[in-house]
Amino acid sequence: MKKIYYIISVLFLLCLTPVQAQKTYLKIYYDNGKISSEGWINLNKKTDYWFFYHKNGNKKEEGHYFNDKKTKWWIVYDVNGKIQRKIEFNNNLENGLSIFYNDGKIYKAARYNAGVKIKEWTSIASYKKDNP
Protein backbone atom coordinates (compact mmCIF):
# COMPACT_ATOMS: atom_id res chain seq x y z
CA MET A 1 0.00 0.00 0.00
CA LYS A 2 2.87 2.39 0.82
CA LYS A 3 4.39 1.68 -2.58
CA ILE A 4 1.18 2.61 -4.43
CA TYR A 5 0.85 5.80 -2.35
CA TYR A 6 4.47 6.69 -3.16
CA ILE A 7 3.96 6.16 -6.92
CA ILE A 8 0.76 8.25 -6.89
CA SER A 9 2.56 11.01 -4.94
CA VAL A 10 5.44 11.09 -7.43
CA LEU A 11 3.06 11.21 -10.40
CA PHE A 12 1.11 14.03 -8.73
CA LEU A 13 4.29 16.04 -8.17
CA LEU A 14 5.38 15.49 -11.76
CA CYS A 15 2.04 16.86 -12.97
CA LEU A 16 2.52 19.99 -10.85
CA THR A 17 6.11 20.61 -12.00
CA PRO A 18 6.17 22.89 -15.04
CA VAL A 19 8.02 21.55 -18.05
CA GLN A 20 11.02 23.72 -18.82
CA ALA A 21 11.17 24.88 -22.43
CA GLN A 22 14.35 24.06 -24.25
CA LYS A 23 15.89 27.07 -25.97
CA THR A 24 17.70 25.95 -29.12
CA TYR A 25 20.02 27.67 -31.61
CA LEU A 26 18.73 27.12 -35.14
CA LYS A 27 20.52 27.53 -38.49
CA ILE A 28 18.64 27.52 -41.81
CA TYR A 29 20.46 27.18 -45.16
CA TYR A 30 19.78 28.11 -48.78
CA ASP A 31 19.86 25.41 -51.45
CA ASN A 32 23.35 26.65 -52.40
CA GLY A 33 24.60 25.63 -48.93
CA LYS A 34 25.07 29.17 -47.61
CA ILE A 35 23.37 30.17 -44.42
CA SER A 36 19.98 31.89 -44.75
CA SER A 37 19.27 32.68 -41.10
CA GLU A 38 20.29 31.76 -37.59
CA GLY A 39 19.09 32.47 -34.09
CA TRP A 40 17.37 31.20 -30.98
CA ILE A 41 14.00 29.49 -30.83
CA ASN A 42 11.96 28.69 -27.75
CA LEU A 43 8.70 26.73 -28.02
CA ASN A 44 8.99 27.00 -31.85
CA LYS A 45 9.10 30.81 -31.70
CA LYS A 46 12.01 33.08 -32.58
CA THR A 47 13.52 34.70 -29.51
CA ASP A 48 16.57 36.80 -28.66
CA TYR A 49 19.01 37.81 -31.42
CA TRP A 50 18.68 36.64 -35.06
CA PHE A 51 20.77 37.06 -38.22
CA PHE A 52 19.47 36.84 -41.80
CA TYR A 53 21.71 36.60 -44.87
CA HIS A 54 21.56 37.33 -48.59
CA LYS A 55 22.23 34.37 -50.90
CA ASN A 56 25.77 35.68 -51.45
CA GLY A 57 26.50 35.19 -47.73
CA ASN A 58 26.45 38.86 -46.69
CA LYS A 59 24.19 39.93 -43.84
CA LYS A 60 20.69 40.97 -44.86
CA GLU A 61 19.34 42.00 -41.46
CA GLU A 62 19.81 41.35 -37.77
CA GLY A 63 17.90 42.10 -34.63
CA HIS A 64 15.92 41.00 -31.61
CA TYR A 65 12.84 38.82 -31.40
CA PHE A 66 10.50 38.35 -28.49
CA ASN A 67 7.79 35.71 -28.77
CA ASP A 68 8.30 35.44 -32.57
CA LYS A 69 7.92 39.21 -33.11
CA LYS A 70 10.54 41.82 -34.00
CA THR A 71 11.44 44.08 -31.10
CA LYS A 72 14.13 46.62 -30.16
CA TRP A 73 16.69 47.71 -32.78
CA TRP A 74 17.12 46.04 -36.18
CA ILE A 75 19.81 46.68 -38.78
CA VAL A 76 19.13 46.18 -42.51
CA TYR A 77 21.98 45.70 -45.01
CA ASP A 78 22.17 45.90 -48.80
CA VAL A 79 23.43 42.95 -50.83
CA ASN A 80 27.01 44.26 -50.51
CA GLY A 81 26.86 44.31 -46.71
CA LYS A 82 26.49 48.08 -46.24
CA ILE A 83 24.01 49.36 -43.68
CA GLN A 84 20.84 50.73 -45.29
CA ARG A 85 18.70 51.30 -42.25
CA LYS A 86 18.48 51.00 -38.47
CA ILE A 87 14.94 50.55 -37.17
CA GLU A 88 13.26 50.32 -33.78
CA PHE A 89 10.49 47.72 -33.53
CA ASN A 90 7.84 46.84 -30.99
CA ASN A 91 5.50 43.88 -31.42
CA ASN A 92 6.57 43.38 -35.06
CA LEU A 93 5.78 47.01 -36.01
CA GLU A 94 8.15 49.90 -36.65
CA ASN A 95 7.95 51.90 -33.46
CA GLY A 96 10.42 54.64 -32.66
CA LEU A 97 13.29 55.98 -34.68
CA SER A 98 14.30 54.76 -38.13
CA ILE A 99 17.63 55.95 -39.55
CA PHE A 100 18.35 55.72 -43.29
CA TYR A 101 21.88 55.41 -44.72
CA ASN A 102 23.40 55.94 -48.15
CA ASP A 103 27.03 54.97 -48.66
CA GLY A 104 27.56 54.78 -44.91
CA LYS A 105 26.17 58.25 -44.22
CA ILE A 106 22.84 59.19 -42.65
CA TYR A 107 20.61 60.93 -45.17
CA LYS A 108 17.28 60.95 -43.36
CA ALA A 109 15.43 59.79 -40.26
CA ALA A 110 11.82 59.07 -39.42
CA ARG A 111 9.78 58.37 -36.32
CA TYR A 112 7.10 55.67 -36.29
CA ASN A 113 4.32 54.84 -33.88
CA ALA A 114 2.80 51.35 -34.16
CA GLY A 115 3.85 51.07 -37.83
CA VAL A 116 2.67 54.55 -38.87
CA LYS A 117 5.21 57.22 -39.86
CA ILE A 118 4.56 60.32 -37.74
CA LYS A 119 7.56 62.50 -38.65
CA GLU A 120 10.42 62.55 -41.15
CA TRP A 121 13.65 64.57 -41.23
CA THR A 122 15.76 64.97 -44.36
CA SER A 123 18.74 66.58 -42.65
CA ILE A 124 20.62 66.23 -39.40
CA ALA A 125 19.99 69.91 -38.71
CA SER A 126 16.19 69.49 -38.94
CA TYR A 127 16.35 66.42 -36.71
CA LYS A 128 18.43 68.27 -34.09
CA LYS A 129 16.01 71.20 -34.22
CA ASP A 130 13.07 68.93 -33.34
CA ASN A 131 15.07 66.77 -30.90
CA PRO A 132 17.36 69.03 -28.84
CATH class of the domain whose range is 23-130: alpha beta
Percent of the chain with pLDDT over 90: 75
Q: Residue 60: is its pLDDT beyond 90?
A: yes
Please report which confidence band the pLDDT of residue 121 belongs to, taking 50, 70 and 90 as the band edges: very high
118 Cβ contact partners less than 8 Å away, ≥ 6 residues apart: 111, 112
pTM of the model: 0.80
In the beta sheet, which residues pair with residue 60? none
